[in-house]
Chain A
Amino acid sequence: MEYKVEAHRIMSISLGKIYNSRVQRGGIKLHKNLLVSLVLRSARQVYLSDYYGGVCLNAQHIEAKEWELMDSEQEKLIPAVEDCSPDVGGSEATLATEEPTEAPDHSAQHHMVEVSVEGDQPCPETGDKGSEYCSPESVEGQDVSTTKDVTNEVACVTPRSSSSSHQSVKKQEEERPAECEPSATTSEITSDLHQSAKAHVCSTRKRSAEKSPANDSPLKRTKATSSNSTVPNSNNEEVEEMDTSNVSNLITIFGSSFSGLLSKDGAKPETEAGESDSGSGQICCDQMLKNLNPWSTAIVAF
């Protein structure tokens, strides 16, 4: 994805800046490093969360376009419904088997998207290929305005209470009834708000459906721990595909200089790294990404 490349690029640039600041004359400048670490954090969240949040562009504009795309695709294909949440019961599982046919076509376009609970995260929006996003948990304090006919719909939104997200949700509500009619599916899930929050209605490939439970657990863990400090496993594989050599190099440089800091958070990275079967470079990358915020401010404390 373009945005991932962009976010990755910004991350490498930011890391480079932090590194260079250590050798600059006059010592480390706290203000500049703080700003760089904020950019790094934003870029990292975009990079890791597998959606193009409204961080970079006007969210509403994008969402409007996405909905148009999605509409046209909906009309062509019968949306397949597969519940991504491992928490939701058997009814959704049967749902999935009922309409498997169109799943493969949709799946390519749909991604699991993490809905971040972090305060400054913008409302998540649909991806650039008409993908929908699913919230793995019912996030607190949110207006979950999913409608009854969630099942055959692509996106189930649990946005933050912000104006843009409200609008996007309302749009989905508008779209949904129209699209629901042709495909009669169970509406068992839908009426229960809590359940629907958990029920990601997304069409996914079977492979990615298998992947999604794995997605959920790291995502959930993400929420449980500090939002800065975990990396979903699914993204490790994608990270491998991209060229992270630059970033890894920088990170190993950092890692060697701040080994004390890494070991401070050693418990967490080790458990996470254990699950991922990526190479040491990746582990280092993950560790760095997790430890980035405390580490960068710790430079200055130094």
Chain B
Amino acid sequence: MAGVGGGNDFQWCFSQVKGAIDEDVAEADIISTVEFNYSGDLLATGDKGGRVVIFQREQESKNRPLSRGEYNVYSTFQSHEPEFDYLKSLEIEEKINKIRWLPQQNAAHFLLSTNDKTIKLWKISERDKRAEGYNLKDEDGRLRDPFRITSLRVPVLMPMDLMVEASPRRIFANAHTYHINSISINSDHETYLSADDLRINLWHLEITDRSFNIVDIKPANMEELTEVITAAECHPHQCNVFVYSSSKGTIRLCDMRAAALCDRHSKFFEEPEDPSSRSFFSEIISSISDVKFSHSGRYMMTRDYLSVKVWDLNMENRPVETYQVHEYLRSKLCSLYENDCIFDKFECCWNGSDSAIMTGSYNNFFRMFDRNTRRDITLEASRENSKPRAMLKPRKVCTGGKRKKDEISVDSLDFNKKILHTAWHPKENVIAVAATNNLYIFQDKIN
């Protein structure tokens, strides 16, 4: 039943939660990105401390039929360290902005992880055998005295406890003046793009000392700056096509065959603004925080502060679907501006069959929209609903007037508990939701 249906045909149940229970959350533990690999067997998270933690799904075994593929820690490593740019007297945060998996080509797994300035290619490999019986050195590694060696001994591979090693294979540095916000691996599996606020670069995975600049929106006079790049993604099938979104709420689709520098877009997606809803903060809430192609490559989804929009690549003048995530916040924009919440960058994701989309909200709520039935559901990631296989109850926010039982009023929402990062298993109905420093995994209840 791979990826059938969406939010409401299924019952979402709690599966696991990873992370500390402490009320005091260390800043370094805050999860900053979540990503399944292509098969869904591996789930990677990056945090503000520059660490990457990879979970692997247990093979379902006959011995434990009830543990339907739980995710356990597979590897943990420090991907990025804080750096200091001496020239500009700026500290470079080690926070992992994005992780993207490469398609698996051999026994090892590869992923790209990036902070604000540097992208690294990591190889995660297993070692479960060890060579023993070296001729020239002792078991503890010391070289044997050559005069003592009287016979030839060939090392033999012996099994050992599984060890997962992560090693940085490539470091792609010094190509971005501004903060990297996106990386995306091309469908050719050889190149990838990285985007910062004003430029997009195209890299080859094997070449670290050079990249091609394919988009540059930096104005000659910085005083004329009106928009920045907020996200970019390669098309899932067409290796010459990519899109990038802007802080003005527009998306540009570019074709790399057209020119070396793709400053001129091939398609321009923008929805005209509703003049009646203008406010001081209209520009902020129209800024797109995430853009994702559907798996089919026919649609793309954008997330701005209050809504998620699905666009058909063949229609530029408006989205085909718009879903309101938390419209009740529209009247609170001023306070959200004061407490900086209005700058939160929510992500969004598709399910495997593109029939449903998911995005996060505040109070540890996250929302799912079924594109076929047009139904939506609000769920909460909380420790209270953390009993194994406990069904998640739909939540509702009361926007005014009488508050019904089980509803939460807008004023009681906890804006410090925000779900910015979510991921959907590419084939099954398993979702990973990052709530500050905890990672929740939910599965649908089948069987």
Query: Residue on B with the closest CB to A16?
Result: B338
- CB neighbours (8 Å) of B92 from chain A are 26-27
Closest Cβ–Cβ distance, residue A172 to chain B (whole Å):
20
Q: How far is the CA of A163 from the CA of B284 in the complex (A)?
A: 24
Do residues A298 and B222 form an inter-chain contact, with CB atoms below 8 A?
Answer: yes
Indicate the member of B88, B95, B223, B338 with the most A CB atoms within 10 Å: B223
Instruction: Choose one: A27, A38, A54, A297; the contact of B284 (CB below 8 Å).
Output: A38
Q: 4 more A-B contacts (CB under 8 A) besides A6-B334, A39-B337?
A: A31-B179, A35-B287, A46-B280, A297-B223
- Chain A min CB distance to B244 (Å): 13
Of listed A6, A26, A164, residue having the most chain B CB within 10 A: A26
In-complex Cβ contact of A35 among B222, B223, B279, B343 (8 A): B343
Count CB-based A-B contacts (< 8 Å): 83
A56 in contact with B225 given A10-B337, A26-B95 (CB within 8 Å): no
**CA A101 to CA B92, docked complex, whole Å:** 68
Q: Does A283 contact B (CB under 8 A)?
A: no
Measured between alpha carbons, how far is A59 from B226 in the docked complex, in Å? 25
Interface pair B280/A31, CB less than 8 Å apart: no
B372-389 interface bits toward A, Cβ cutoff 8 Å, 1 = contact, 0 = none = 000000000000000000
Query: Is A77 located at the chain interface by the 8 A CB criterion?
Result: no
A207 interface hit (Cβ, 8 Å)? no
Residues of A with C-beta under 8 A to B337: 10, 13, 39
Check if A293 is an interface residue, CB within 8 A of chain B.
yes
Q: Which residues of B contact A31 (CB under 8 A)?
A: 179, 181, 197, 228, 230, 247, 287
Across-interface contacts of A42 in B (CB, < 8 A): 280, 283
**Interfacial residues of chain B within 274-293, with CB under 8 A of chain A in the complex:** 275-276, 278-281, 283-284, 287
Docked complex: B214-246 residues within 8 A CB-CB of A: 222-223, 225-228, 230
Residues of B contacting A30 with CB < 8 Å? 178-179, 197-198, 228
A278 within 8 A of B: no
Cα of A122 to Cα of B275 in the assembled complex, Å: 9
- The residues of A that contact B198 with a CB separation of less than 8 Å are 30
B283 touches A39 (CB 8 A): yes
In the complex, A271 has a CB within 8 A of chain B: no
Q: Min CB distance, B246 to chain A, in Å?
A: 10
CB neighbours (8 Å) of A25 from chain B are 91, 93
Whole-angstrom distance between the alpha carbons of A164 and B274 in the complex?
12
**A residues with CB within 8 A of B:** 6, 10, 13, 17, 25-27, 29-32, 34-35, 38-39, 42-43, 46, 54-60, 122, 162-164, 293-294, 297-298, 300-301
Looking at chain B, what size class is its interface with the partner chain?
A: 35 or more
CB of B283 within 8 A of CB of A55, answer no
**B-side contacts of A13, CB under 8 Å:** 337-338
Assess A39 versus B280: contact at CB under 8 Å? Given A34-B247, A294-B223. Answer: yes
Closest CB of chain A to B70's CB: distance in Å? Answer: 35
Q: How far, in whole Å, are A74 and B140 apart by their CA atoms in the complex?
A: 101
A-B contact pairs, 8 of them (CB 8 A): A25-B93, A31-B247, A55-B280, A59-B276, A162-B275, A163-B275, A294-B223, A298-B222
Point out the residues of chain B lying under 8 angstroms from A298, CB to CB. Answer: 222-223
Q: Judging by beta carbons under 8 Å apart, are B90 and A164 in contact?
A: no
Nearest A residue to B89 via CB reads A27
Please determine whether B283 and A27 come into contact, CB atoms closer than 8 angstroms: no
When the two chains form their complex, are residues B225 and A27 in contact, meaning their CB atoms are under 8 A apart?
no
**Chain B residues with CB below 8 A from A38, complex form:** 283-284
Give CA–CA (A35, B341) in the complex, Å.
13
Q: Does B370 contact A (CB under 8 A)?
A: no
Taking a contact as CB atoms under 8 Å apart, the answer to whether B116 and A26 are in contact is: yes
* B242-286 Cβ-contact flags toward A at 8 Å (1 or 0): 000001000000000000000000000000000110111101100
Determine which of B227, B230, B281 lies in contact with A39 in the assembled complex, contact meaning CB atoms within 8 Å: B281
Chain B residue, CB-CB nearest to A7 = B280
Q: Return chain A residues, CB-CB under 8 Å to B90.
A: 26-27
Residues of A within 8 A of B340 (CB): 17
CB distance from A249 to the nearest CB of B (A): 18
A56:B222 contact, CB within 8 angstroms:
no
- On whether the beta carbons of B93 and A34 are closer than 8 Å, the reply is no
| Chain A residue nearest in CB terms to B285 | A35
Whole-angstrom CA separation of A104 from B373 in the bound complex: 63
Mark contacts of B333-347 with chain A using CB atoms, 8 A cut-off: 1 yes-contact digit, 0 otherwise: 010011010010000
Given A26-B116, A31-B197, A58-B276, are A300 and B222 also a contact pair (CB < 8 Å)?
yes
Q: Smallest CB-CB separation from A60: which chain B residue?
A: B276
**Which residues, 168 to 183 on B, are CB-close (under 8 Å) to A?**
178-179, 181
Closest chain B CB from A44 CB (angstroms): 11
Closest 6 pairs (CB-CB, A-B): A26-B93, A27-B90, A301-B222, A294-B223, A30-B197, A35-B284
With contacts A35-B287, A297-B225 taken as known, whether A27 is within 8 angstroms of B280 at the C-beta atoms is no
B247 in complex: contacting residue of A35, A60, A293, CB < 8 Å: A35
Residue in A32, A43, A55, A297 whose CB lies within 8 Å of B343: A32
Q: With contacts A10-B334, A31-B230, A39-B284 known, is A56 near B279, CB below 8 A?
A: yes
Interface centre among A35, A46, A57 (most CB of B within 10 A): A35
Q: Is the CB of B222 within 8 A of A10?
A: no
CB neighbours (8 Å) of B91 from chain A are 25-27
A191-B93 Cα distance, complex, nearest whole Å: 66
| Complex-state Cα separation, A119 to B404, whole angstroms | 45
Give the docked Cα–Cα distance between A274 and B44 (Å): 62
Docked CA distance A31–B278 (Å): 20
Segment 133-184 of B: residues with Cβ below 8 Å from A: 178-179, 181
With A26-B91, A27-B91, A27-B92 known to touch, is A55 a contact of B247 (CB < 8 Å)?
no
Q: B93's closest neighbor in chain A, by CB? A: A26
A residues in contact with B227, CB < 8 Å: 34
Q: How far is the CB of A99 from chain B (nearest CB, A)?
A: 37
Which residue on chain B has the smallest CB distance to residue A30? B197
Chain A residues near B88 (CB-CB < 8 A): 27
Known: A30-B228, A35-B287. A297 touches B222 (CB 8 A): yes
Nearest residue, chain A, Cβ from B277: A58
Find chain A residues with CB under 8 A from B179 CB: 26-27, 29-31
A167, B225: Cα distance in complex, Å: 34
**Shortest distance in angstroms between A294's beta carbon and chain B's nearest beta carbon?**
4
Taken together as a complex, chains A and B put the C-alpha atoms of A54 and B227 apart, in Å, by: 23
How far apart sit A35 and B91, CA to CA, in the bound complex (Å)?
Answer: 22
Q: How far is the CA of A27 from the CA of B90 in the complex (A)?
A: 6
